[in-house]
Amino acid sequence: MKVGITGCAGRMGSLLVQELRSGAWDDKGLVFVGGTIENTEEQTFDFDVTSHADELFEKADLVIDFTGPAATRQHIWLAAKHKTALVIGTTGLTEKDEMEIADAAKETSIVYAANMSVGVNLLCALVEQAAARLGPEWDIEIFETHHKHKVDAPSGTALALGKSAAKGRGVDLKDTGVYERYGQTGARNVGDIGFSVARGGDVAGEHTTFFYGEGERLELSHRATNRSIFARGALHAASWLKGKPSGLYSMRDVLDI
């Protein structure tokens, strides 16, 4: 499977290139064919790179995309046009974007996940189970920390945890999510799912879901100490996607959890 990387000079793109070129994925049939950057004249590379995404999608069997929402909105339709399999790890996508991803997945196979790590996807499953078993009298709060360069908040992973908690309770996060608290907010509403965000330093990602009960508290946490886990997860998804029919898949499908 010939794999292309969008934004191959970026924070995650460069990690993906490094992992693919390590040779560790040869036995899974993944071969690196190049990537895209906005302006190829700014840097030189010892591998094939283009500033035209359409060219990459035509050449590759599968593309891994960890860019930004604006770029990903274009990439999903290039994948559909060329019948190129796609792994999306971009965060900050809207509900409308997710609907378009589902539409594009009618033409090709797509794995879309807010977080590609094994641990985080297991955490989402555990949060869903805990929320289903604990009554609404248990207050749910989600806390996340990321590096100072992250541009979206709450993180895609935090929102995925919120959706998992809401699913466990049989409610919609749109109706229960609380994202801001300032001033005289009044007492906490029963059933709210709250979010808190911190940004600083070089934190790869830390997420904790708190379940507050009377006289006790349950904490389910994940801490990423190296961003390479996200690259390896994406490549695992790429190898799993090989030969899959058109459709939209999640990392929980990939990991069977």
Concatenate the DSSP letters of all residues of 57-115 into one string.
HHH-SEEEE-S-HHHHHHHHHHHHHHT-EEEE------HHHHHHHHHHTTTSEEEE-S-
Catalytic residue among 75, 146, 163, 236: 146
| H-helix segments, the chain | 11-21, 53-59, 69-82, 95-104, 118-133, 156-169, 173-176, 228-241, 251-255
CATH superfamily of 118-224: Dihydrodipicolinate Reductase; domain 2 (3.30.360.10)
Distance CA(211)–CA(142), nearest Å, equals 9
Structure confidence at residue 41 as a pLDDT band (50, 70, 90)? confident
Q: For the segment 78-103, what is each residue's pLDDT rounded down to a tens digit?
A: 999 999 999 999 988 999 999 999 99
pLDDT number for residue 147:
96
pLDDT number for residue 6:
98
Q: For the segment 172-213, what is each residue's pLDDT rounded down to a tens digit?
A: 999 999 999 999 999 999 999 999 999 999 999 999 999 999
* Fold of the domain built from segment(s) 2-112+227-255: Rossmann fold (3.40.50)
Q: Where are the domains of the chain?
A: 2-112+227-255, 118-224
pLDDT number for residue 44:
83
- Write down the residue that tokens 């699913």 correspond to: 167
Is it the case that residue 3 has pLDDT exceeding 90? yes
To the query of whether residue 147 is one of the catalytic residues in this protein, the response is: no
Is it the case that residue 40 has pLDDT exceeding 80? no
To the query of whether residue 146 is one of the catalytic residues in this protein, the response is: yes
pLDDT number for residue 257:
84
pTM above 0.95, yes or no: no
Quote the percentage of the chain above a pLDDT of 90: 92
Mean pLDDT is lowest, of 26-30, 96-100, 128-132, 210-214, for 26-30
For the segment 37-64, the average pLDDT, to the nearest whole number, is: 91
Catalytic residue among 2, 59, 81, 150: 150
For the segment 112-123, the average pLDDT, to the nearest whole number, is: 94
